[in-house]
Amino acid sequence: MLPTEMPLGEIASFAAGVAVAGAVSGVLAGVFGIGGGAVMVPVFYQAMTALGVDEAVRMHVAVASSLAIIIPTSLRSFQGHHARGVVDMALLRSFLVPVPLGVIAATLIAASISGDGLRLIFAIIALAVGLRLAFNRDSWRLGTEIPKNPWRAAIGFVIGLLSALMGIGGGVMNNTFMTLFGRPMHQAVATSAGVGVLIAIPGTIGYVWAGWGDPRLPVASTGYVNWIAVALILPITLLVTPFGVKLAHAMKKRHLEIAFGAFLLFVSARFFWSLYG
């Protein structure tokens, strides 16, 4: 349960921080085709640390609540991009099975892993993705055609697995996959919004199951999903996501990639320090 003696000023500052995270994550959902979980998860974790949520479940709740929020933001982002006719529906259909299977595997892992273990996974993936964003070059290519099965299915499984463990919509990973094989960034972003839906829905259900009945959960939680966090951020993200979609089709994203990469590197360093510092 959340401590009732927490000063109102601190509660207000946390609410403001969560609101800002919601706005940023909503824009990112449209610009990068992601659900903004890489922003929300560390903010949720820090807020729950200050609110006294049990350390054993903090990271699980942060990841699960992020995935729950990603469902409508990814849906709205996908609808916006699909209306512009830039989604690769053939690739998305080929991910209908392997991506959710990866998500299911992630929730099984989350059901048995410690909070520190989940934080370490987030830090490692954030480090890798942050470096990729910070040093990305348009000239980097592995080929000109997206691999066919079984490689495509294996890649979809890995995208679902790592994204669900991290509480993100998989956009950055799918963007990397598609652009490394010659697809234009706008198409990668648009398709990634659909991948986010394939991750967030089974991921949310899985984390509800994984945390069901845990007595250490904060108030208003169903499994690891905390509905107070969802209710605070969801309206903001839905409001600003269409703005992100417009930005994605009107600007070069290199500076945003660098800034987002730097943010992930900072979060990764902070989590590593909290674990080993």
- Greater confidence (154 vs 236) lies with 154
What count of Cα atoms within 13 Å lies in the side-chain half-sphere of residue 251? 14
Residue 196, pLDDT above cutoff 80: yes
Q: DSSP string of 114-179? A: -HHHHHHHHHHHHHHHHHHHHH--TT--S-SS---TTHHHHHHHHHHHHHHHHTS-SHHHHHHHHH
* Angstrom distance (rounded) from CA 213 to CA 92: 35
Query: Which residue in 242, 157, 158 sits closest to 193, CA to CA?
Result: 242
Cα→Cα distances 1→19, 41, 48, 191, Å:
22, 19, 11, 39
Q: What is the pLDDT of residues 79-108, one digit of tens each?
A: 888 888 889 999 999 999 999 999 999 999
User: What is the per-residue pLDDT across 24-51, written as a single tens digit (0 to 9) for each?
Assistant: 767 776 666 565 677 788 878 877 887 7
| Of 196 and 40, the one with more pLDDT | 196
Q: What is the pLDDT of residue 86?
A: 87
Residue type, 141: R
**4, pLDDT greater than 50:** no
What count of other Cβ atoms lies within 10 Å of the Cβ of residue 96? Answer: 11
Mean of pLDDT values over 126-137: 82
Average pLDDT over residues 2-20: 62
Q: What is the three-class DSSP state of 222?
A: strand
Between 128 and 105, the more confident residue is 105
Q: What one-character DSSP code corresponds to residue 216?
A: T
| Whole-number pLDDT of residue 76 | 85
Mean pLDDT (the chain) is 84
Distance CA 106, CA 164 (A): 6
Q: Give whole-number Cα distances, 250 to 30, 85, 91, 194, in Å.
A: 12, 16, 24, 20
**Strand residue runs (E) in the chain:** 221-222, 225-226
**44 Cβ partners below 8 Å, 6+ apart?**
18, 61, 62, 65, 66, 229
The answer to whether 22 and 156 are in contact (CB under 8 A) is no
Q: Is the pLDDT of residue 8 over 70?
A: no
**Could you state, in order of their start, the residue ranges of all structural domains in the chain?**
8-276
User: What confidence score (pLDDT) does residue 39 get?
Assistant: 76
